Amino acid sequence: MRQILAKPVVVVAILLSFGVIGIVAYLQQGPSALTLEAPEARYELLRNQGLTQGVPISIQLGPLTVFHISDPMAGGAGAARAKQVVDSLSAAVQELSETPGRVITIDTGAPEGMPRVVQKETADSSASLEIVSVTSDDMLLADTDDAKLLARIWAERLTDSLRLLIFGQPPEFSRDTSFGAGLDVLHGTAMRESGSLTSDSLTAAFDELSADLREALTSFPALPSMIESSPGATSGDTVGDSS
């Protein structure tokens, strides 16, 4: 059975005509897929430090934090944006679990001009499932003025979370960040515990992580520190490959 494939993508004029930049990852079934339960997507309201007019919210996949978004919480609708992102992430997980080989990428063709993290059947598919779109308030929370970079890091974190939680694969795109380092230790610990990855071995391995590693996997640090630890992530033009 084939391993997860993540092919390099160079953003050239042809791809830009489709509004696609940055990370493209092909997620295919791995040997541990049958022993791993599909992770649950959920959200958690965080302490409001007044950086935006909204409420900071952690979007989580299993025990991992993949996005840190701002929800306007306007009009008495509650966490409407967070709920929508969780619903979209849940749909993406279900599609990927049922049909491995789908693609996670960044789309810059949205009418509002902000990049989106989307899932497609193939890299060339016109149809896509929007998982999350960057907003100006999200950029304030991340302390960056580079929306494409933020979308890229979201896509990297999501891709590597799916690689581990669905297909039992180690991280690839976020490996040089604190988040990726935590995933790598989590993967290795779970493998040593049982010889193969299961949902139970991942849970046990997560509980054994140091406080620093758990913090890296459950928080979203300000973007500048992530850039410093991952120089290659700043260009938004190319992606490393894995086979």
User: Residue 27: beta bridge partners?
Assistant: 102
**Residues 91, 41: Cα–Cα separation, whole Å:** 9
**Residues 164, 187: Cα–Cα separation, whole Å:** 7
CB–CB of 119/158 below 8 Å?
A: no
The DSSP-derived string for the chain is -PPPBB------HHHHTTTEEEEEEEE---TTGGGSPPPPEEEEE----SSSSSEEEEEEETTEEEEEEEE---TT--SHHHHHHHHHHHHHHHHHHHSTTEEEEEE---TT---EEEEESSTT-S--EEEEE--HHHHHHHT-S-HHHHHHHHHHHHHHHHHHHTT-----TTTTSHHHHHHHHHHHHHHHHHSS--HHHHHHHHHHS-HHHHHHHH----HHHHHHH-GGGGSSS----B-
Tokens of 165: 């939680």
Q: What is the pLDDT of residue 10?
A: 35
pLDDT (tens digit, 0 to 9) for every residue of the chain, 243 residues total?
A: 333 333 433 333 333 334 455 567 777 666 555 568 999 999 999 988 888 889 999 999 999 999 999 999 877 778 999 999 999 999 999 999 988 989 999 998 766 789 999 999 988 888 999 999 999 999 999 999 999 999 999 999 999 999 999 999 999 999 889 999 999 999 999 988 767 788 999 999 999 999 999 999 999 876 654 444 444 333 232 222 233
Domain ranges within the chain, ordered by starting residue: 13-233
Q: Give whole-number Cα distances, 158 to 1, 14, 78, 86, 131, in Å.
A: 23, 25, 25, 13, 10
At residue 94, φ and ψ (nearest 5 deg) are: -65, -45
Query: Which residues are CB-neighbours of 58 under 8 A, at least 6 positions away?
Result: 43, 44, 46, 65, 67, 68, 218, 219, 220
User: What is the edge-to-edge ordering of all strands in the sheet holding 41-45?
Assistant: 41-45, 55-61, 64-71
Q: What is the pLDDT of residue 4?
A: 37
